[in-house]
Amino acid sequence: MKKMPNIIDVAKRAGVAPITVSRVINKSGYASEATRKKVEEAIAELGYVQNSLARGLRIKRTNTLALVVTDITNPFFTLIARGVEDAASKAGYTVIYCNTDESEEKEISYSNILVQKQVDGVLLVPACSSPQSVRFLGQNNIPVVLIDRRVPDIHTDVVRCDSEEGAYNLVKLVIELGHRNIVTISGPQGVSTSDDRVAGYQRAMKEAGLGDNLNVLYGSFTQACGYDLANQALALNPRPTALFGTNNFLSIGIMKALRDAGMRVPEDITVIGFDDLPETMVVDPILTVAAQPAYKMGVLAAELLLKRLSEKMLPENQEIILPTEIIERQSSGPPLG
C-alpha cells in the first residue's frame, strides 16, 4: 500500500509549483507549451491521478449527482436511470443511486448521506408526499429535480408524464369499445401518480355517464398486490368486464391472476395498464397501455438539473410534463355478450 503521488510530487518532478500543475490539469489559467509538456511527462512518469476529494473540498463541487428511485428493478426506473447516467456522464458527472422501496424513512436517511457526500444535485422519485427530504436538501443548497411524481406544497423542478391525461385516454378507449363496468387497480393513495391516474379514470367514466360505476381498489405498486386485487375484483358482482392496472407491476399481477383464474384476455376480460415494458424484454407484448418515455424522462431531468447547476438564474419551478403514448394491443377488446 504505497503512497500515491500528489500534486506536490508532480510539481517537484516537473520543476514547477503545485499551482502550475493544477493549471495544466484543469486547463485553467495560462501555461506555456514547454511547461505543459514537462508537467504532463511528470504526471505520466509518476502515474499521478488527481484526488477529487481534495479538489471538491476546495472548489465546493463534486461533479456527482444522485438518483433516488423507489426500486431500480422496475424497468420504468431502470430506463430512467440509464437516461440519467447517459446525460450525466456526457457532462462529466458521475451518479450515485439509491433505492427507497417507497419508504420515507429510507428517503430521509439517503438525503442525509447525500448532503454529507456533497453531491451537486439530486434526482428524486419521491417515496411519499412529505416535503421533508426535498426541503432538507434545499436547506443544504442542493438542487432537486423530482421525477415521475409531484410533491404538494414544494417548489422544485419536476419532470413527469401527464398521468391524468394518459389514464383518461386509456379508459376512454375502453369505454368506446363498449365497457361500462371498469375497475381500477391502483397504487397507494397519496402518491401523485396513483392519484392522477385514478383521477383520469374518474373523469373518463363520469364523462361517459358512468359515474355510478366507479370502483377503485387501492394497494401498493407491486405484482403481488395486482394479483390479490384482481382476484378481489373478479369476485365482485357484477363482475367487471375490464381491469385497469395503474402501473406495470400491477398489470402483470393482474394478468397472472386472470391466467390462474382460467380467464382469457381479451375474450373473457379486457386489461389495460400504465407503463410499457421495454421491447427488449418481451417477445409478444399484448397489453394495451399508456406508455411513458422513461429514458427520455431521465435524460431531460438530468439535463434540467445540470442546467440549474451551471446557470444561477433559471426561472423558478420548471415543470416538464410529457405526454404518454396510448398503445393499443390485444389485451383490450369489446366486452362479452
Partner DNA sequence: ATGAAAGCGCTAACAT
Partner DNA sequence: ATGTTAGCGCTTTCAT
Contact between 139 and DNA by CB under 7 A: the answer reads no
Residue 78 interacts, among a copy of itself, DNA, none and using kind-specific CB cut-offs from 5 to 8 Å, with: a copy of itself
Is residue 113 near a copy of itself by the rule CB under 8 A? yes
Selected range binding DNA among 8-16, 99-107, 199-207, 310-318, rule: CB under 7 A: 8-16
Beta bridge partners, 244, equal 184, 272
- Answer yes or no whether residue 112 interacts with DNA by CB under 7 A: no
What, of DNA, a copy of itself, none, does residue 223 touch, CB below 5 to 8 Å by kind? a copy of itself
Q: Judged by CB under 7 A, does residue 133 bind DNA?
A: no
Kindly tell me which residue out of 6, 9, 36, 72 binds a copy of itself, with binding defined by CB under 8 A. Answer: 72
What are residue 288's DSSP bridge partners? Answer: 272
| Among 95, 158, 217, 269, contact with a copy of itself (rule: CB under 8 A) | 95
Binding part of the chain for DNA, among 4-12, 181-189, 208-216, 233-241 by CB under 7 A, reads: 4-12
The residues, any chain, with a CB within 8 Å of residue 264's CB and separated by 6 or more, are none
Residue in 1, 2, 27, 28 binding DNA, rule: CB under 7 A: 28
Verify binding: residue 23, DNA, rule CB under 7 A. yes
Q: Tell me the closest approach of the beta carbon of residue 52 to a copy of itself, in angstroms.
A: 4
Question: Hey, is 183 helix, strand or coil?
Answer: strand
User: With the C-alpha atoms ordered 206, 208, 214, 220, is the resulting torsion angle positive or negative?
Assistant: negative
Closest CA to 275 of 304, 253, 256, 302: 253
Which run of H or of E encompasses 108? helix 104-116
82: contact with a copy of itself by CB under 8 A: yes
Nearer to DNA, 91 or 214 (CB): 91
Interface pick for DNA out of 58, 238, 283, 311 (rule CB under 7 A): 58
Measured CA to CA, the distance from residue 243 to residue 234 in angstroms comes to 9
Q: Which long-range contacts does 22-28 make (Cβ < 8 Å, 24+ apart)? A: 25/50
Bridge-based pairing of strands 288-291 and 325-327 is antiparallel
**Residue 235's binding partner, choosing from a copy of itself, DNA, none, with beta-carbon cut-off 5 to 8 A by kind?**
none
Q: Taking a C-beta distance cutoff of 8 angstroms, is the pair 237, 208 a contact? A: no
Q: Does 310 bind a copy of itself (CB under 8 A)?
A: no
Q: Does 54 bind a copy of itself (CB under 8 A)?
A: yes
Contact 121, 145 (CB under 8 A): yes
Query: What residue 232 binds from DNA, a copy of itself, none (CB within 5 to 8 A, per partner kind)?
Result: none
Confirm or reject binding of residue 32 to a copy of itself (CB under 8 A): no
- For 29, 125, 147, 182, 285, the CA distances from 322, given in Å and listed in that order, are 43, 16, 11, 26, 23
